[in-house]
């Protein structure tokens, strides 16, 4: 039995070297009525992750999902409204978040969804209160063990995770250095997020780091890999830490050269992390966000409509958008 005719966005072809909007296409599909324990949700908004690229036609699964082939429907973090329910915990009308298919209507187990306050905007739920906010929070606290007064360098700071990390690091008492690519993005960090030391990675980053942190860095949140890490390691203070979060720079080399004696002598730490290990950190993050004054910002670039999904994903991979890429689907609802 079906709950209605609806749309989904599928992988239309395996992307070449560069992902193009045409690699994705809108298709008509049928949504199933819910079985016991299931609900039908209508997607309100999706937040995209660049990491999805690694699973498109590569045969590789990651912690965020399975490998995807042509005709498969990707999933991303999303905000949705329950439109039909066969589960008492999620009555019709509930606002939920979860890993949602790129589709208008999805029939899925209620246990895969988390009920949230309907007064919160999709932008907040998909940034500072969502996957990228949690990644930043876990990197700073559980992996990075940041302490008030410490000097924290955050790379890719104008991206989805970075813009959350910059704000959370300050709330946690850190002295923040934040780097991004080009004057416009650096200005955004300084003017909009109030970063005192906003650095331009396209200029002489080493000199800017030395000027902003002449006594060194306590914690480096590495969102990019590559040459930034080579700059961070020799600048770590005693008991300094590097948290390896991502490789936005997509440099082919994944090898780190460590100065072994210096690492021991100065008690340095390098730690990789995955946010998927820390779902239990979410309440702590939300407490911090609720208590922040001034309120933390949901930094994002918003597209409207399902047809823009491919375009938004391609733009995200080109790295020139501010904050998280969000697709607002509320005007695509079948009853509009």
Ligand X SMILES: NC(=O)c1ccc[n+]([C@@H]2O[C@H](COP(=O)([O-])OP(=O)(O)OC[C@H]3O[C@@H](n4cnc5c(N)ncnc54)[C@H](OP(=O)(O)O)[C@@H]3O)[C@@H](O)[C@H]2O)c1
Tell the residue number behind the tokens 């560069």, with chain if given.
18
Q: How far is the C-alpha of 161 from the C-alpha of 244, rounded, in Å?
A: 13
What is the three-class DSSP state of 173? coil
CB 192 within 8 A of CB 143: no
Nearer Cβ to ligand X (273/308): 273
Could you tell me the smallest distance in angstroms from the CB atom of residue 248 to ligand X? 3
Query: What is the rounded CA–CA span in Å between residue 99 and residue 4?
Result: 21
Q: By CB under 6 A, tell whether 130 contacts ligand X.
A: no
How wide is the angle at C-alpha 314 spanned by C-alphas 308 and 317, nearest 5°? 140
| Cβ pair 72, 25 in contact under 8 A | no
Going by C-alpha positions, the residue among 158, 172, 163 that lies closest to residue 136 is 163
278 binds ligand X (CB under 6 A): no
| Cβ 64 to ligand X shortest distance, Å | 8
Residues numbered 19 to 48 that lie near ligand X (CB under 6 A) are none
User: Is 51 or 269 the residue whose CB approaches ligand X more closely?
Assistant: 51
Contact residue for ligand X among 8, 161, 172, 296 (CB under 6 A): 161
Question: Pattern 45-84, binding to ligand X, x per CB under 6 A?
Answer: ----xxx---------------------------------
Both tokens of 246, joined, read: 């991502």
Find the shortest distance in angstroms from Cβ 27 to ligand X: 27
108 in Cβ contact with 39 (< 8 Å)? yes
- Tell the smallest beta-carbon distance from residue 223 to ligand X (Å): 4
Our CB check for ligand X shows the closer of 34 and 122 to be: 122
Count of residues touching ligand X (by CB under 6 A): 27
- Smaller CB separation from ligand X, 7 or 102: 102
Residues 215-234 touching ligand X, rule: CB under 6 A, are 223-224
Q: Of 10, 106, 107, 135, which lies in the binding site for ligand X, with binding defined by CB under 6 A?
A: 135
Judged by CB, which is closer to ligand X: 74, or 162?
Answer: 162
Nearer to ligand X, 42 or 324 (CB): 324
Task: Return the residue of 55, 185, 241, 297 that touches ligand X, per CB under 6 A.
Answer: 185
Q: Which of 74, 78, 174, 246 binds ligand X (CB under 6 A)?
A: 246
Q: Are 40 and 84 in contact (CB under 8 A)?
A: yes
Cβ contacts of residue 252 below 8 Å, gap of 6+? none
**Residue-by-residue DSSP string for 177-223:** EEEESSHHHHHIIIIIS--SEEEETTS-HHHHHHHH-TT-EEEEEES
Give which of 261, 249, 279 is closest to 179, Cα–Cα: 249
How do strand 95-101 and strand 324-328 relate by DSSP bridges?
A: unpaired
* Nearest-angstrom CA–CA distance, 54 and 316: 14
- List the one residue from 3, 84, 319, 330 that touches ligand X (CB under 6 A): 319
Decide whether 122 or 159 has the Cβ nearer to ligand X.
159
Chain residues binding ligand X by CB under 6 A are 49-51, 132, 135, 156, 158-162, 180-181, 185, 201, 223-224, 245-249, 273-275, 316, 319
């Amino acid at each position: 039995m079906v709950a209605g005719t609806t749309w989904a966005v599928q992988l239309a072809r395996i992307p070449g070297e560069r992902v193009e909007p045409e690699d994705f296409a809108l298709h008509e599909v049928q949504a199933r009525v819910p079985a016991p324990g299931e609900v039908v949700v209508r997607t309100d908004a999706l937040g995209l992750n660049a990491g999805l690229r690694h699973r498109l036609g590569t045969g590789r699964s990651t912690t965020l999902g399975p490998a995807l082939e042509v005709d498969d429907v990707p999933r991303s973090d999303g905000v949705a409204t329950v439109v039909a329910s066969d589960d008492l915990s999620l009555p019709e009308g509930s606002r939920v978040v979860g890993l949602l298919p790129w589709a208008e209507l999805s029939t899925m187990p209620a246990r895969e969804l988390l009920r949230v306050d309907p007064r919160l905007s999709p932008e907040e739920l998909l940034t500072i209160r969502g996957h990228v906010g949690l990644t930043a929070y876990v990197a700073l606290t559980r992996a990075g063990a940041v302490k008030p007064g410490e000097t924290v360098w955050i790379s890719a700071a104008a991206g989805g995770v970075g813009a959350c990390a910059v704000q959370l690091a300050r709330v946690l008492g850190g002295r923040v250095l934040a780097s991004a690519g080009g004057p416009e993005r650096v200005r955004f960090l300084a003017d909009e997020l109030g970063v005192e030391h906003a650095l331009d990675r396209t200029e002489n980053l080493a000199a800017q780091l030395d000027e902003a942190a002449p006594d060194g860095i306590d914690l480096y949140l590495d969102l990019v890999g590559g040459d930034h890490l080579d700059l961070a390691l020799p600048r770590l203070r005693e008991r300094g830490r590097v948290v390896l979060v991502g490789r936005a720079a997509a440099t082919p080399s994944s090898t780190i050269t460590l100065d072994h004696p210096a690492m021991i002598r100065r008690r340095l730490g390098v730690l990789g992390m995955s946010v998927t290990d820390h779902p239990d950190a979410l309440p702590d993050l939300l407490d911090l966000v609720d208590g922040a004054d001034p309120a933390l910002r949901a930094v994002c670039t918003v597209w409207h409509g399902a047809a823009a999904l491919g375009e938004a994903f391609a733009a995200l991979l080109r790295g020139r958008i501010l904050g998280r890429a969000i697709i607002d689907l509320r005007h695509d609802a079948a009853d509009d």
